[in-house]
Amino acid sequence: MLASARPLVLLPSSERPAHDRHRPPGPPPIPAGPPTDAPAQRTAPDGRVELLPGASPDDSRFANDDLRPIPLAERHWTTYNFAALWVGMAHNIPSWTLASGLVALGMDWKQAVFTIALANVVVLLPMLLTGHAGPKYGIPFPVLARASFGLRGANLPALIRAAVACGWFGIQTWIGGQGIFVLLNEVFGGAWADASPIGGHPWTLWLCFVAFWSLQLAIIHRGMETLRRFENWAAPFVLVGAVVLLVWISDKAGGLGPLLDQPSRLGWGADFWPVFFPAFMGMIGFWSTLSLNIPDFTRFGKGQRAQVWGQSLGLPTTMTAFALLSVLVTSGSQAVYGEPIWEPVDLAAKADNVFGLLFALVTVLVATVSVNIAANVVSPAYDLANLAPRLIDFRTGALITGVVGVLIFPWKLIETPELYIFVWLGVVGGLLGTVAGVLIADYWIVRRTALDLADLYRQDGRYWYAGGWNWRAVVAFAVGGVLAVGGSHSDPGKGPFPDDGMIPFLRPLADYGWAVGLGSACVVYLALMWSRREGVT
């Protein structure tokens, strides 16, 4: 789309037009800043803001070409681009199995789909709130965090988000590699799985893992414009693949199986709500990471309308439809095979012809690449660049993400459900909600969406606070984090936490970690910021 638009900031110089090849994208910085009485930014009629030439010094140690604001001329993602981004990210193997987990907890399909739909409507709100700064100022998440945490303090939320993304990247890459391995094993008649083991797994599985890892880094190395184009065609392709799977299983079943008629084991009374609320928080936590770093994408938007409509049309509708689709397909698998097969890879492996297997293989490959690159590589690439802008650019950050994603041994992490669910998802979700509370309170309530772009890159500006740190944001983060995850608990022998919680009196809050973290951090931050006597805009 928009083939005539200028290349985005992340394209290598060799891909930019000849007349534009010898200068960095965006407003050309100069060694010295503008006169103090000169304007540093200009506001377009639609409210979007960009830096004026020379407003940010090129020797700033808090900026590089990837972190500087995207010029207005290069913000051209449309409603379709954002909707396609979410369709591509939502159509993945973990999303497919969300409904299965809820049904396993005792819900019927209607309750499961309702829980997923409601959770994605709720998580859409912080997505839109934090995403607003993207098209307005053209800045990524770690630069937005500087307004609240300070130029140096922004590394705290950025590195937390980066660590989560690196972990998810490794997990998703391992899952995608496993998917490729299972399907190729069917193609080669079982010989694929009989290969000699290395580290407890066949070497062919490691080969699939490495190949999948390399493919993803090759795509992201091309930059955000390549990602936009990939998501544009990946989204409809994966959707068609899922529908084909439904048609195939329905044809074999002669109709959908009895799962849709299976009653809820919980009902809608007292047994339902103790299961609903923790599950509801878990569904919110599934995309809570993106509620922080969504400016990494919306900064390329051609306006607020594009990001608002694109996300609203793409996220809750797609996740709900995909959950319903997974239930229908699983229902058919129960009718055909006598048991529900919730894993799409396992179900696709039962295809009785090579073409079907290869089609399923490509669909799984595209679906997993789509979500993993967008959700788990873009953010840490920017976050790590924010840590040392002079040494790390976007591509270097992406490579570091890929390496760290392997070094965490994701195949070990997902071997232990207690570690994966109670430590990884629970604790991380609570902490990310806390960061979101600080960002939203600062941007929408304290500053009323008004930022000084130049000062976001300038030492001793209004966002320098004390040595580059805003202690108020750190305190709000700490308080919200303790309240969100301090009561984390496990059943005896089922997890790493004490049965009565790490902090027993906080145990009742543990099932609502994301919401508790967001709300408490927001309140504490506002109270501390409003106690200041000097201006904060």
Q: What is the mean pLDDT of residues 182-193?
A: 78
Q: What is the pTM of this model?
A: 0.80
Q: In this model, does residue 72 exceed pLDDT 80?
A: yes
Mean pLDDT, the chain, integer:
81
- For residue 500 the two structure tokens come to 């009565």
Q: In this model, does residue 520 exceed pLDDT 80?
A: yes
The three-state DSSP-derived secondary structure of 21-54 is CCCCCCCCCCCCCCCCCCCCEEECCCCCEEECCC
Task: Determine the pLDDT at residue 113.
Answer: 87
Q: What is the mean pLDDT of residues 520-535?
A: 83
Q: What does the pLDDT look like over 237-275, one tens digit per residue?
A: 887 888 888 888 888 877 777 667 767 778 888 888 888
Least confident of 147-156, 187-196, 267-276, 419-428: 419-428
Q: What does the pLDDT look like over 1-60, one tens digit per residue?
A: 333 333 333 333 333 333 333 334 443 333 334 444 457 888 999 899 998 887 766 667
Query: How does residue 415 score in pLDDT terms, banded at 50, 70 and 90?
Result: low
Which residue segment(s) compose the domain that 226 sits in? 87-426
113: in domain: yes
126: closest CA among 433, 510, 504? Answer: 433
- For residue 498 the two structure tokens come to 């004490």
* Cβ partners under 8 Å of residue 366, min gap 6: 234, 237, 238, 241
- Any idea which residue has 């893992």 for tokens? 209
472: in domain: no
Q: Which of 60-74, 136-150, 226-240 has the highest mean pLDDT?
A: 136-150
480: in domain: no
Q: What does the pLDDT look like over 311-362, one tens digit per residue?
A: 999 999 988 888 888 888 877 887 788 777 777 777 777 777 777 777 877 8
CATH number at residue 150: 1.10.4160.10
Domain count, the chain: 1
8-state DSSP, 442: I
Report CA-CA distances (Å) from 438 to 157, 470, 475: 10, 11, 10
Of residues 291 and 229, which shows the higher confidence score?
291
Burial of 466 by CB count in 10 Å (0-12 exposed, 13-18 middle, 19+ buried)? exposed
Cβ neighbours, 10 Å, residue 419: 15
Task: Determine the pLDDT at residue 423.
Answer: 62
Query: How does residue 495 score in pLDDT terms, banded at 50, 70 and 90?
Result: low
Q: 29 near 56, Cβ under 8 Å?
A: yes
109: in domain: yes
Q: What is the mean pLDDT of residues 366-382?
A: 82
Least confident of 105-109, 225-229, 277-281: 225-229
Q: What is the mean pLDDT of residues 219-233?
A: 75
